[in-house]
Amino acid sequence: MFWPLLWILGSFILSIYIVNTILRNKYNIQKRDWTDFDNNHVNGTHRKISFFMFIITALVFIIVVYLRFPKDPTYIFFGFAIVTLLLNETLKVYMEWKHRRQEKHYILDASNLVLSLIFTVIFYVYAISNFPSPY
């Protein structure tokens, strides 16, 4: 059961590398500096919206868990993690497109977002079909 999951992860990493390389060459996108990895907010508005979205997501998560905790909490944790990442990355792509269009990094981020969603669904479907719930 471990090897198919490793195959999915390897395919994901390889596909992101290939797509990023193709897009970098096609659109002449410069590589980002790794020291700028922590500071991924475009401006102060982006930072505030991202923080606000994080707080709202955390509060909704806490409310859902306390009001109705299902038999298998894995689905809630997984769902909230995916929704939070989707919202934050979508916000990042939009803000880069709106405020830093000339750098074209939003193209890479959008393609990474789409590939991440595809492989997350593949991984989730595989995990549900091959790993039964302990409950």
Give the pLDDT score at 28. 96
Crossing angle for the helix pair 2-27 and 105-130, to the nearest 10 degrees? 170
Looking at per-residue confidence, does 20 or 38 come out higher?
A: 20
Q: How confident is the model at residue 39 (pLDDT cuts 50, 70, 90)?
A: low
What separation in angstroms does the CA of 52 have from each of 57, 81, 99, 119?
A: 9, 16, 20, 28
Contacts of residue 27, defined as CB under 8 A and 6 or more positions apart, other chains included, come to 104, 107
Which pLDDT tens digit goes with each residue over 69-127?
Answer: 666 666 777 778 888 889 999 999 999 999 999 999 999 999 999 999 999 888 888 87
Task: Write the single-letter amino acid at 121.
Answer: V
Global confidence as pTM: 0.83
Average pLDDT, the chain: 86
φ, ψ at 30 (rounded to 5°): -75, 150
Give the pLDDT score at 127. 76
d(CA 92, CA 86): 10
Indicate whether 45 pLDDT > 90.
Answer: yes
Which pLDDT tens digit goes with each residue over 55-65?
Answer: 998 898 888 77
d(CA 82, CA 76): 10
